[in-house]
Structure 1
Amino acid sequence: MKYTLNHFNKIIFFLFFILTTFSCSDTSDEIFSNATDASEEIALLNVEYGSASLQKYDIYLPKNRSGSTTKVFVLIHGGSWVGGDKDDLNNIVSGIQVRFPNYAVVNMNYQLAGIGKSPFPMQLIDIETVIDHLKSNTNNYHISSNFGFIGTSAGAHLAMLYAYDYDALSEIKIVCSIVGPTNFTDDNYVLNPDYQQLILGIQLITGVSFQEDPSYYENASPYHVVTSTAPPSILFYGGEDDLVPRSQGIEMHEKLNSLNIINEFTLYENEGHGWEGEALNDTYTKLSSFITTYF
């Protein structure tokens, strides 16, 4: 399996100029009747979990699944909170199916942010709604309520923020961050001109100024909200990333250590916001080992 991790779309910078505007079936009773045969491998695409056009997910159900044993990966795409699509992670879906054929995989879309349409908490509520939708259909899908998150870029930020601050029932058993922002109050974002665009973009779409309300940015930062109850976490970052500075991964790793949370951290010194080749193979190897051990 070979693919390049999706680069963190620089859509956020263009907001100054534009606004973002197996089997397959639509959501209906037919979807759930199709899923009742637990002995068969089934893919259900664009299952609706809400009324908005982007509130859909794809679910890939393994054969011989069981409500007591079949755990569920939830994939959360990147795109600067204002772009991206679940199809961007189809290669990760394929990789999981090869390496972990007994797990179910959910690849979700969420509502995109724009000027005057903040991603926080809208996108976190979408994640919560997906989890609730899956839980309400465990009998139809023959899956358990044990979930693991894998997110890339902005999706990794959302995965961590949800797992660390929104998961009141501790149903998220592991979380994987691939180049996800962790701390919006990092001096690199606040003071370093090389990285300030991200905070300016967030201010634009949220309408909240960092100078006027730094607590808003703390509450949206996994680094600040994580507690000792957080699930095992695995972090991957690039040393040459021009969007997410290395400090985001390093300091998150240190914070998790200080809370005695099981975690692993890898910094690819010569990689940017995504990688391929040997670094990508290393990511797969480490993530697979982590999943085998903790999920």
Structure 2
Amino acid sequence: MKHLKYIFLLFVIYSCSNKADEDILTDVPLDPSKYYQELDVSYGNNENQRFDLYLPANRTSTTKIIILVHGGGWTSGDKSDMDAIKDIIQQDFTNLAIVNVNYRLANTNNSAYPMQIEDISSIVNYLKENKAKYTISEDFGFIGISAGGHLSLLWSYAFDDFKNIKMVCSIVGPTNLTDPAYLNNTDPVLQEALNSFGVNTELSFLEEVSPYHQVSATAPPTILFYGGQDPLIPITQGTDLRDKLQNLGVTHEFTLYPNEGHGWEGLELLDTWLKLKSFMQTHL
């Protein structure tokens, strides 16, 4: 019996030792000279709390990160929707790290706000906590489309307490839920999209979740793209924020494609990328 106890004790000590070694190994920095990617990195318990990570070769502690935020009316969409943007960034910015994110989707039991903002905070904090392992900096940029553009602007303007965001891009993102074009609209499709964000219609709430009302003179450089025929995003969502950024003295660029809707292709899409690329080269 004593012999069995001795063997069991050795087994426990050996197992604990191995477990400790494994824990230490998980914190060992990745080889920064090599390209690295990891898909579906978990940052929470929900199945949608996942992101894809792409780290360039020869990165350093000054390597910056671009975060991609998909659209889908706050209730749908997937990080795979941003793969085309991820691919062209990898092609033209070989020195950038890319994080393509999913976030919890709103439904009748879970409002988009503050849930989705909290998810972005969790992602940013995760990357900061693991910056030594990944060999990256704490300098971030955002590119968001539609609802993802709204979330990118709102987080950058109202939740970036440590001023880590160096630039933010919104492509057809809502900016002001107190806009009369929203409050007085009679379009059932548009209203359904607005209802999906939340049912609280109090002015204070609408201002709290509107980048237009949260932006200040310390906001990061901002680049905006909108379509003049967009059935979901009135032109004023772009022009009003543009004018406020101008009044606040915030570095910004604004492009309106008069004949385009909630997205575009061809020469307009090429124009968008060339302008965004130049903006990123300057500010990120």
Task: Please indicate, yes or no, whether the TM-score normalized by the shorter chain is above 0.5.
Answer: yes
**Alpha-carbon distance in 1 for matches of 2:194, 2:264:** 25
- Residue 167 (str. 1) matches residue 160 (str. 2): yes
Letter in 1 for 2:38: L
- Residue 40 (str. 1) matches residue 29 (str. 2): no
Deviation of 1:152 (Å)? 0.3
Letter in 1 for 2:271: D
Letter in 2 for 1:40: K
Q: Name the structure with the higher helix share.
A: 2
User: Residue 47 of structure 2 is aligned with which of 47, 53, 57?
Assistant: 53
Which protein shows a greater Rg? 2
Aligned residue number for residue 151 of structure 1: 144
Deviation of 1:197 (Å)? 4.3
1:138–1:145 contact (8 Å) kept in structure 2:
yes
Distance 1:188 1:32, change over 3 A: farther
* Structure 2 residue ranges without an equivalent (≥5): 1-21
User: Residue 179 of structure 1 is aligned with which of 172, 175, 180?
Assistant: 172
| 2:163 partner SS | coil
1:175–1:234 contact (8 Å) kept in structure 2:
yes
- Which structure 1 residue ranges, 4+ long, deviate > 6 Å from structure 2? 28-31
User: Residue 134 of structure 1 is aligned with which of 118, 122, 127?
Assistant: 127
Residues 91-102 of structure 1 mapped to structure 2, 5 A cutoff: 91-102=84-95
What is the total number of aligned residue pairs between the two structures? Answer: 263
Q: 1:185-208 CA distances to partner (integer Å, 9 max, x unpaired)?
A: 1111111324x6444544465332
Task: Please report the TM-score for the alignment, with normalisation by the length of structure 2.
Answer: 0.89
Distance 1:105 1:31, change over 3 A: farther
Letter in 1 for 2:211: P
Aligned residue number for residue 249 of structure 1: 238
Instruction: Select the structure with the greater relative contact order (CA < 8 A; seq sep ≥ 6).
Output: 1
**Alpha-carbon distance in 2 for matches of 1:242, 1:281:** 22
User: Residue 247 of structure 2 is aligned with which of 244, 247, 258?
Assistant: 258
Aligned residue number for residue 73 of structure 2: 80
User: Residue 125 of structure 1 is aligned with which of 118, 125, 149?
Assistant: 118
**Alpha-carbon distance in 2 for matches of 1:202, 1:29:** 45
Task: Please report the TM-score for the alignment, with normalisation by the length of structure 1.
Answer: 0.85
1:190–1:199 contact (8 Å) kept in structure 2:
no
Aligned residue number for residue 268 of structure 1: 257
1:117–1:206 contact (8 Å) kept in structure 2:
no
Q: Percent identity?
A: 48
**Alpha-carbon distance in 2 for matches of 1:264, 1:187:** 24
User: Residue 206 of structure 1 is aligned with which of 188, 198, 205?
Assistant: 198
| 2:112 partner SS | coil
Aligned residue number for residue 284 of structure 1: 273
Deviation of 1:33 (Å)? 6.9
RMSD across aligned positions (CA): 1.8
